[in-house]
């Protein structure tokens, strides 16, 4: 049998019909004929045809019975079947098609018609198989891309959370340890059938993941309070307490710009309630007993246990045994008695976990955040308006589209995934996380020493991006982010920072961002000055051509400055509303 041709099997009890079919089809297909349904099933054990031509009126097992048996078999149900019959009544045709036949041809038939119908259905079957393969391949590719994006998001939020904690002189290990302690508490609660009804409604993995954002509000607390080595004054403690409300506000802002999710719901509950106490003496709302969300009651114990057993600016670490005694004494006052009892019952497992986690490097692939979360946190410190990232994206998109359409730097830009480039731009100032609040939000001109401090945000931002790259699979958004972060303050004439790069030695991403960043800064209010008009900003950028900015990019900007004016007008209109 010729394996390069489609195999067609014809089933008919009339030898004459079989011979006619063989003579008509042999030039085009590998044709195999059998005189009965029983013989067909014996043949199918040996070959897998592309199509079956099936007569209806046969003794012992008619065509309808053969069809039913084919469709009942997982091995044979996929083979397309065309009924060949002398019956011409519509009822017979409907019955055959309802059993799963792909076509119904009445005898006598022409050679050309039969070949056309066979070709058509073989083509349909091939396309169906190709589509199935494509869908499987697409699902696999989407799965890989989703995994890569998830890893990117996970790493970003992990780094940000660790930077938040590092401002409080707490190691990033605090995040992983408290996650692990919460997981232990949940497992032991379920094991003892405590709070089972409520916990069973949670996505536990998502809840544990969200716990790393419980102190995200600390990003708004002054450095001199966060890092104070001694006891806080009453006023300082009142300001410190505000981090719970600030954390909920940050998460609320994220919810306004993203799809509402369980992750954010858990994160908000944790941020707002993990300093409440069972007896009502906690903050920020003085909630009492079971009025405190279970999320916060779990976090309260995990957070305190980790704080007790690790060094802090104001104290040395307590031993595990000392921490256990403190938690035992605080049962029913600070802590939910049932949760405290679970901790005390399994305290040895917590001690073992503490030792093993201290020896283990942190795992950074367990969180499911969003990029908007990171930029919202940065915006909360930098005093940038909520529309900042939308404006940034719009302006970048205008320039990149113009460059593509006009063929400027087309060879390089054609290699970019534009969507990833636009997404990565949100990270260009990620290093601002390291700049002190009193400098970042200073209403007056910076001193030379303060400006040097600000300039460090570029190198720190690059280091953060590199830390992320070390923890996820390669993704072009990271390369864009690194180039943008490290070079958007370089200048065409070599007078920029941090490396004094010059001309085309500056990455194209940074040269594009330099114009957009300056334009948005000029047309936005800042702590040290009021915003300029669009016309004033355009003139400043025009005058910076060949010194601050790439002349080719300035020409593109000037050619499309009306589109920049459009987004300024939209922003002004939105603000007035």
pLDDT at residue number 2? 58
Structure letter (DSSP) for residue 530 = P
Across 219-223, 227-231, 476-480, 497-501, least confident range: 476-480
- Residue 352 binned pLDDT confidence (cut-offs 50, 70, 90): confident
- Residue 477 binned pLDDT confidence (cut-offs 50, 70, 90): low
End-to-end CA distance of the chain: 78
Across 238-242, 368-372, 422-426, 448-452, least confident range: 368-372
pLDDT at residue number 574? 42
In 90-202, alpha helices (H): 90-98, 111-166, 173-191, 196-199
Q: What is the mean pLDDT of residues 509-532?
A: 87
Handedness of CA 145, 387, 551, 448 (dihedral sign): negative
Per-residue pLDDT of 244-273, as tens digits, reads: 998 898 788 767 655 557 878 898 999 999
pLDDT at residue number 387? 56
For residue 342, is pLDDT > 80? yes
Contacts of 481 (CB under 8 A, 6+ apart): 424, 427, 428, 430, 465
Handedness of CA 493, 499, 503, 506 (dihedral sign): negative
Across 264-273, 341-350, 469-478, least confident range: 469-478
Domains, the chain, ordered by start: 7-109 (3.40.50.2300), 151-359 (1.10.3210.10), 383-576 (1.10.3210.10)
Across 30-44, 349-363, 407-421, least confident range: 349-363
Q: Which of 76-85, 140-149, 189-198 has the highest mean pLDDT?
A: 189-198
- Peptide linkage before 367 cis (omega within 30 of 0): no
Per-residue pLDDT of 139-183, as tens digits, reads: 666 565 555 555 555 555 565 565 565 555 454 478 778 989 999
Neighbouring C-beta atoms of residue 132, cutoff 10 Å:
10
- Residue 100's SS3 state is coil
Q: DSSP characters for 384-408?
A: --TTHHHHHHHHHHHHHHHHHHHTT
Q: Which helix (H) or strand (E) holds 89?
A: none
- State the virtual CA torsion across 397, 401, 404, 410 in degrees, nearest 10: -10
- Residue 380 binned pLDDT confidence (cut-offs 50, 70, 90): very low
Largest CA distance in the chain: 106
Q: CB-based burial of residue 152 (10 Å sphere; 0-12 exposed, 13-18 middle, 19+ buried)?
A: buried
Q: Which of 31-45, 127-141, 164-178, 204-218 has the highest mean pLDDT?
A: 31-45
Single out the residue of 424, 433, 388 nearest to residue 509, CA to CA. Answer: 424
pLDDT at residue number 91? 77
CB crowding 464-501: b at 16 or more within 10 Å, else e: bbebbbebbeebebbbbbbbbbbbbbbbbeeebbeeeb
Q: Which of residues 450 and 167 earns the better pLDDT score?
A: 450
Average pLDDT, the chain: 82
Distance from C-alpha of 31 to C-alpha of 38, rounded to nearest angstrom? 18
Q: What is the mean pLDDT of residues 180-196?
A: 95
- Residue 128's SS3 state is helix
Distance from C-alpha of 296 to C-alpha of 275, rounded to nearest angstrom? 7
For residue 382, is pLDDT > 60? no
- Residue 512 binned pLDDT confidence (cut-offs 50, 70, 90): very high
């Amino acid at each position: 049998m010729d394996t390069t041709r489609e195999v067609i099997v014809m089933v008919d009890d009339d030898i004459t019909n079989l011979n006619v079919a063989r003579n008509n089809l042999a030039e085009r297909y590998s044709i195999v004929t059998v005189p009965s349904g029983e013989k067909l099933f014996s043949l199918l054990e040996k070959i897998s045809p592309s199509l079956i031509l099936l007569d209806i009126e046969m003794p012992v097992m008619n065509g309808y019975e053969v069809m039913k048996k084919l469709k009942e078999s997982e091995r044979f149900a996929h083979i397309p079947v065309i009924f060949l019959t002398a019956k011409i009544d519509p009822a017979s045709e409907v019955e055959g098609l309802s059993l799963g036949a792909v076509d119904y041809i009445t005898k006598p038939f022409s050679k050309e018609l039969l070949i056309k119908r066979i070709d058509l259905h073989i083509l349909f079957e091939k396309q169906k198989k190709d589509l199935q393969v494509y869908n499987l391949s697409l699902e696999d590719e989407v799965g890989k891309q989703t995994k890569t994006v998830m890893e990117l998001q996970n790493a970003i939020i992990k780094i940000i959370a660790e930077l938040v904690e590092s401002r409080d002189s707490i190691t990033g290990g605090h995040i992983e340890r408290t996650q692990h302690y919460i997981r232990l508490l949940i497992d032991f609660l379920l094991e003892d059938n405590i709070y089972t009804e409520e916990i069973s409604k949670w996505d536990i993995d998502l809840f544990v993941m969200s716990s790393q954002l419980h102190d995200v509000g600390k990003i708004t607390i002054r450095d001199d309070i966060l890092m104070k080595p001694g006891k806080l004054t009453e006023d300082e403690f009142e300001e410190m307490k505000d981090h719970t409300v600030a954390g909920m506000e940050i998460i609320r802002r994220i919810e306004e710009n993203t799809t509402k999710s369980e992750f954010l719901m858990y994160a908000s509950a944790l941020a707002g309630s993990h300093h409440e106490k069972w007896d009502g003496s906690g903050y920020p709302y003085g909630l009492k007993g079971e009025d405190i969300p279970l999320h916060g009651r779990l976090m309260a114990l995990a957070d305190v246990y980790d704080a007790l057993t690790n060094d802090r600016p104001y104290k040395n670490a307590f031993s595990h045994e000392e921490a256990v005694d403190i938690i035992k004494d605080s049962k029913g006052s600070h802590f939910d008695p049932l949760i405290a009892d679970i901790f005390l019952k399994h305290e040895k497992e917590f001690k073992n976990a503490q030792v093993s986690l201290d020896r283990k490097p942190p795992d950074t692939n367990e969180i499911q955040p969003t990029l908007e979360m990171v930029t919202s946190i940065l915006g909360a410190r930098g005093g940038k308006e909520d529309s900042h990232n939308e404006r940034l994206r719009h302006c970048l998109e205008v320039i990149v589209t113009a460059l593509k359409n006009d063929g400027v730097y087309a060879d390089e830009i054609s290699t970019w995934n534009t969507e990833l480039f636009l997404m990565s731009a949100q990270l260009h100032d990620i290093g601002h996380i390291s700049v002190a609040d009193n400098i970042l939000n200073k209403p007056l001109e910076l001193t030379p020493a303060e400006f040097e401090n600000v300039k460090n945000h570029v190198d720190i931002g690059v280091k953060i991006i590199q830390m992320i790259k070390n923890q996820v699979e390669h993704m072009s958004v990271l390369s864009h982010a690194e180039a943008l972060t490290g070079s958007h303050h370089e200048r065409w004439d070599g007078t920029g920072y941090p490396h004094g790069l010059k001309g085309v030695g500056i990455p194209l991403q940074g040269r594009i961002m330099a114009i957009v960043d300056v334009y948005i800064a000029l047309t936005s209010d800042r702590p040290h000055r009021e915003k300029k008009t669009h016309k004033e900003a355009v003139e400043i950028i025009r005058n910076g051509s060949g010194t601050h900015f790439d002349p080719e990019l300035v020409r593109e900007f000037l050619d499309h400055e009306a589109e920049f004016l459009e987004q300024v007008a939209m922003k002004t209109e939105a603000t007035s509303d």
